[in-house]
Structure 1
Amino acid sequence: MNSLAKLTAPRQFSVLRHFHSSVNKQCLQSLKTSYDAVVIGGGHNGLIAAAYLQKSGQKVCVLERRHVLGGAAVTEEIVPGFKFSRASYLLSLLRPQIVQDLELKKYGLKVYLRDPSSYTPLRKPGGKNGTARSLLLGRDHEENMKQIAQFSEKDAQAFGMYENHLDRIGSAITPLLDAPPPSLEISFKHIKQSLQSIFLLLSTASHLGNDLPAFYDLMTAPGQKVLNKWFESEPLRATLATDSVIGAMTSPLLPGSAYVLLHHVMGELEGVKGAWGYVEGGMGTVSKAIANCAQDHGAELFCDKPVAQIITKGDKVTGVVLEDRTEVKAKLVLSNATPKVTFIDLLPRGVLPAEHRKAMEHVDYTSPVTKINVAVDRIPNFTADPNVRDKEPMPHHRCTIHLNCEDSALIHDAYLDAQRGELPTKPMIEMVIPSSLDPTIAPPGKHVVLLFTQYTPYTLAGGRTWDDDTRNKYADSVFDTIEDYAPGFKSSVIDRDILSPPDLERIFGLTGGNIFHGAMSLDQLYLARPTPLVSNYRCPIAGLYICGSGAHPGGGVMGSAGRLAAQVALADVKHL
């Protein structure tokens, strides 16, 4: 075994350099001095915006600062032979209209649906009779009832109604995901769009009907409060509560966490509502398919082109300047960077009106996430459900595996550790093993294990920093937890890649390490995302738009922000 030590700098550099050469084929055009539109950042939203703009007749270029396109939806071969979805790791929220419009299946997108989808092993037997070892949930209603009945007959009967309840509310508000929000600064020029958005909002409220009070609860209440109304048993409540906090520095006990839960069940994959799946080749294949579409229509995509500044003249954008001082002119600039990077770092000081800048300075980017990507030489063997055959994945290996989730109190306790600036003694862990379904990402018999862990503060107590020692001590504690559930896991590890919140910020440009480009709290949603002054992709500088997850409808590999920003920009072209 290559120990549990960190990747050494020379080895990490050589691996990344090798992978760099395999993906840079998409970035070989010669950069021109002028385009109709420049997109800053080659994440999935930026690529989607570029594809829609190019298909509509605009000449577009995308400028990506890294060596690889995709932003957080990227595949990287950190360990030779193992392809990691290094940041985002599952697909569900990508809007079906985008898949259809951009013909993403034609351009290489292939998805493995997961069923079952959720697995919560117990350290010790529990449930009604003290014999339950785990909770396995999927699309089979009868099997779900059987699994939940180990803990509560009442909950088994309620679960189907709960899922239907969320589905009704999710379906009613889905149109809001596919339309821009109204602007709080309605101008005559944009009044038609704002009135359309307001009408859609009112229409959504009418479609909610009797579910309107429950929707209000989901928007404002603690996730735990909502779950307690439906269920009485753990680990069911704890398993469902993970969706109310995933990627968010909040607790199921805090107001607003219920919306995060709703956000994560609004997806659709292969026509199956709420389904999640693995992308063949990793999440970078999503970005590659979008990039292939954009290029096929004439867009030009460039890697290793960091933007240093957005150029303006008067109250209009005129282009960008790269770090190497190359100037690229454009009448439209769409930024896939976070609002902080876009408005605070890239715009010259004094260009953004003072009230707008002040609002941007107070956007919340707090993140609880440390992602750990692991190469292993065998499939984990859980005590709760031992492997039947040595090298053959079992159904639960295909799921999101929830560890330290036997009780909701464990999640809240980990959150409290982070509030004190401490690393959690019992981190909340979501483990996925995409190689259990996708044979293209690991050598035969070996596996890719992706660990999405919480709660890890960006800033540690006592002024401590995330140095190599801190990263490795934390990863060791995560591996100790996994070892409790699956003995032998630590000895199976070939190597690992540890990404703390500062690492996610440094590598992927995620301010604060926040995977959503800003907290998904009620004060930063819909017509207040990222702020009430900039909420419908437009900015005070004509021709400048935000198209990333910091805009409506928020985070996840959804693509709506990119599509809607492009549509808003195209509607404005005639006025520029």
Structure 2
Amino acid sequence: MADASFDAVVIGGGQQGLVIGNYLALNGMTVGLFERRHELGGCACTDSTPIPGFIGNPHAEHLGFWNSPCNQDFKLHEKGLNFIFPEVMASMAFPDERCLVFYTAVAWDKETGEITPNLEIVGKNINEVARISPKDAEKMAKLAEKSFWDFFTAVFLHLYNPPPLAGEPDYIESQLNEPESLLDPRYPFMTEYEIICDLFESPELRTYCITWNHYNFVYADDVAPIPMALLWLSTIFGVSGLACAQGGTHNVAHALQRALSEQGGQFLVNADVDKVLVENGSARGIRLADGAEIEATRLVIDATDVEQTINRHLRDVQINTDIRRKINKLRHDRGQPFWGHAAFHELPQYRAASWNPDVGKARWLVMGDPDPEYLFREYRYRAQHIKPGQWPPKMYPTASTETQWDPSYAPPGKHLALVGEGCAPPASWLTEREWVQVKSEVGERIIAEWQAYAPNITPDNIIGVNIGTPYDYQQRNASWVDGDVQPPSIVPSQWGKYRPIPELAQYQVPGIENFYLASGHHNVGLIGCSGYNCYKRIAQHLALKKPWEGRMI
């Protein structure tokens, strides 16, 4: 006899498990959610860092979760989740004291989910580019007439729908076949560097675009999926809406948990799921590591990484050997940053403020030499081969001061910034001893780079620094394989209808009924789309509620 019984059992209490758990509960199902760690949230986490009295987000930081329809479907704004949209979305400071600054040009109605671009601010962003490159500004203005908005809409539809089946629209492919599209049909086969050089001419804007995607784990020499290869595009127009969750990213998890609990859903932390119980080709429940068995009368959802699913949870289940082989060959050589926080007394004073005084107000600020050739030919290799005492000659760090828009991150009068570098070696590439040494060096190295752009970032100003490494991430969360915080790596063979592999891209394992996968399929980041899209397929199969009918997504 089972120790507990639910209509639906969800493995993993990260954003995807919480999202899909809520939609299943919306149908009157009893839902039990089981999380291995001591708290819910997964990447939606907030810790005391770098020292007591300060808080920071050790993973998801620049949130697109406000786009998710679950905000309106479950009224998360009434459950403690508030988003802040800083005035300046992104900026890049250059060594010659010039900069690029892009202002937030989008308004969002939390009640309805309606998104409205501010075309006046879009024009302001184009004018900022014109100060450095009139030709690039001219190209932006042309894109803003129509083709950018068509592409932006297509990406939005791509994100919040499952990979298309036969007869369903493929929103990105339709853009490639559209004569007026901004997409050249060659783009799916070109490197990031080639695409950016095809669109823009100035080394400054090229460098900004390349560097922006470092933090989405696409590099200049990569051939990337089109939505990711052009992810920086929405930032230069100011419409990506890089929000932050007031009080910390963990409030996303809190709001989703409250919504689930209000619908009668239950959750258990420190509950390590050891295996999925399958009988006669149908999932009937789970067994925890402590031996407890949980019955699922209707379905089981696995929202952990797919390696855990196949190699642990389904280890005793007979499935296609080709599936196991492909899963064990997934790439995890992208997605490893240095990522952490610095606490300090006084706000950074940037040299580039003489060019634009708003440079330091950016939600996402990066620094570096405008050298796209270096970024294409050397950067990733050098960054992925960091060793103790061996650092790249050029780095492109981020330092975004969060207390400018949310003072709750620090004690009164003090400040906290997200700091990091967008590329590091996978965890397995260095020994534990080497990682300990690298961790002891990385803070000093990034602070030294930062000081070159903001001279008052001195030892006297710094209160504390804590920057995580891929080795740290691997220890923190079992889903972050080899320190890959957005697994598996973002490459065309692991994207869309191929993510993670073609056989599993529709959220099911062939041969197992009533079992679904809601892990990092189809996309990455804290936007909740994998859980949402998985639910869309379940709703089709089980005739459940379809709240998206009559709206865009």
1:535 aligns with 2:528: no
1:25 maps to which residue? none
1:151 maps to which residue? 132
- In the alignment, the residues of structure 1 paired with residue 265 and residue 355 of structure 2 have an alpha-carbon distance, to the nearest angstrom, of 48
- In the alignment, the residues of structure 1 paired with residue 69 and residue 176 of structure 2 have an alpha-carbon distance, to the nearest angstrom, of 21
1:148 Cα deviation (Å)?
2.2
Match for residue 452 of structure 2 among 462, 471, 484: 484
1:19 maps to which residue? none
2:100 maps to which residue? 135
1:20 maps to which residue? none
Q: What amino acid is the match of 2:69?
A: Q
Q: What amino acid is the match of 1:242?
A: T
- In the alignment, the residues of structure 2 paired with residue 61 and residue 443 of structure 1 have an alpha-carbon distance, to the nearest angstrom, of 38
Give CA-to-partner distance per residue, 1:319-340, whole Å, 9 cap, x none.
2222222221214221221111
CA 137–403 in structure 1, closer or farther in 2 if over 3 Å, else same:
same
1:55 maps to which residue? 26
With normalisation by structure 1, the TM-score equals 0.82
Give CA-to-partner distance per residue, 1:504-552, whole Å, 9 cap, x none.
1221231122222212211111111110111111112222211122x12
- In the alignment, the residues of structure 2 paired with residue 180 and residue 149 of structure 1 have an alpha-carbon distance, to the nearest angstrom, of 39
1:496 aligns with 2:465: yes
1:286 aligns with 2:257: no
Gaps of 5+ in 1: 1-30, 126-132, 183-193
Give CA-to-partner distance per residue, 1:340-398, whole Å, 9 cap, x none.
1211132224533211111111111223312122222222222222799xxxx956323
1:149 Cα deviation (Å)?
2.9
- In the alignment, the residues of structure 2 paired with residue 461 and residue 334 of structure 1 have an alpha-carbon distance, to the nearest angstrom, of 33
Match for residue 246 of structure 1 among 215, 222, 227: 215
1:406 Cα deviation (Å)?
2.5
2:240 maps to which residue? 274
1:450 Cα deviation (Å)?
0.9
* Equivalent residues of 1:112, 1:277 under 8 A apart: yes
CA 385–323 in structure 1, closer or farther in 2 if over 3 Å, else same:
same
Q: What amino acid is the match of 1:117?
A: M
Match for residue 70 of structure 1 among 15, 20, 41: 41
Gaps of 5+ in 2: 106-120, 545-553
1:559 maps to which residue? 528
Give CA-to-partner distance per residue, 1:442-479, whole Å, 9 cap, x none.
11221221124122111576757553222111222112
* Equivalent residues of 2:176, 2:184 under 8 A apart: no
1:403 aligns with 2:375: no
- In the alignment, the residues of structure 2 paired with residue 228 and residue 203 of structure 1 have an alpha-carbon distance, to the nearest angstrom, of 21
1:205 maps to which residue? 174
1:315 maps to which residue? 281
CA RMSD of aligned residues (A): 3.0
- In the alignment, the residues of structure 1 paired with residue 72 and residue 3 of structure 2 have an alpha-carbon distance, to the nearest angstrom, of 31
1:37 aligns with 2:8: yes
Q: What amino acid is the match of 2:280?
A: G
Match for residue 298 of structure 1 among 261, 264, 272: 264
CA 573–147 in structure 1, closer or farther in 2 if over 3 Å, else same:
closer
SS at match of 1:235: helix
Aligned residues: 515
2:198 maps to which residue? 229
Q: What amino acid is the match of 2:71?
A: V
Q: What amino acid is the match of 1:497?
A: N
Q: What amino acid is the match of 2:47?
A: E
Percentage of identical aligned residues? 21
1:190 maps to which residue? none
CA 405–573 in structure 1, closer or farther in 2 if over 3 Å, else same:
farther
CA 141–535 in structure 1, closer or farther in 2 if over 3 Å, else same:
closer
1:401 Cα deviation (Å)?
0.8
1:416 aligns with 2:397: no
1:384 aligns with 2:357: no
* Equivalent residues of 1:122, 1:384 under 8 A apart: yes
1:448 maps to which residue? 416
- In the alignment, the residues of structure 2 paired with residue 387 and residue 212 of structure 1 have an alpha-carbon distance, to the nearest angstrom, of 34
2:183 maps to which residue? 214
Q: What amino acid is the match of 1:291?
A: Q
Match for residue 102 of structure 1 among 57, 74, 87: 74
CA 104–410 in structure 1, closer or farther in 2 if over 3 Å, else same:
farther
- In the alignment, the residues of structure 2 paired with residue 103 and residue 244 of structure 1 have an alpha-carbon distance, to the nearest angstrom, of 32
